[in-house]
Amino acid sequence: MITIEEMRNLEAQAERHGVSRWQLMQNAGKQAARVAAEGRPPYLALVLCYHGNNGGDGFVMAEELAEKGWKTTVAFLGSMDKFKADGERAFGSISGSRIIAGVAAAKEYAGFLTEQDIIVDAMLGTGASTWPEGLREPLRSAVAVFNACAARKISLDVPTGIGTEHCCRPDLIIAFHDEKRWYTNGDTDATLIASIHAKTVIVDIGIPASQQPDTSSPQAGAE
Q: What is the DSSP letter of 73?
A: E
Give pLDDT, residue 219.
40
Residue 179 lies in a domain: yes
Count the domains in the chain.
Answer: 1
* Tens-place pLDDT, residues 15-28: 999 999 999 999 99
Is residue 223 predicted with pLDDT exceeding 80? no
Is residue 180 predicted with pLDDT exceeding 60? yes
194-215: b or e for each residue (b if 16 or more CB lie within 10 Å)? eebebeeeebebebeeebeeee
Residue 214 lies in a domain: no
Residue 173 lies in a domain: yes
Residue 215 lies in a domain: no
User: Could you give the count of Cα atoms lying within 13 Å of 188 in the half-sphere of its Cβ?
Assistant: 3
Residue 217 lies in a domain: no
Is residue 133 predicted with pLDDT exceeding 90? no
Give pLDDT, residue 1.
84
Q: Within 10 Å of residue 141's Cβ, how many Cβ atoms? A: 17
Sorting pLDDT into bands at 50, 70 and 90, what band is 3? Answer: confident
Q: Which domain holds residue 150?
A: 2-203
Mean pLDDT of 187-215: 73
Residue 222 lies in a domain: no
Give pLDDT, residue 186.
45
Query: Does residue 41 have a cis peptide bond before it, meaning omega lies within 30 degrees of 0?
Result: no
Residue 115 lies in a domain: yes
Q: What is the CATH number of the domain that holds 108?
A: 3.40.50.10260
- Cβ distance 57 to 125 under 8 Å? yes
Which range, of 38-47, 69-78, 92-101, 121-130, averages the lowest pLDDT?
Answer: 121-130
3-state DSSP call for residue 216?
coil
Q: pTM, whole model, 2 decimals?
A: 0.88
Mean pLDDT of 49-53: 96
Mean pLDDT of 114-135: 82
- Cβ distance 110 to 151 under 8 Å? yes
Mean pLDDT of 171-182: 90
- Of these ranges, 6-15, 61-70, 176-185, the one predicted with the greatest mean pLDDT is 61-70
Residue 220 lies in a domain: no
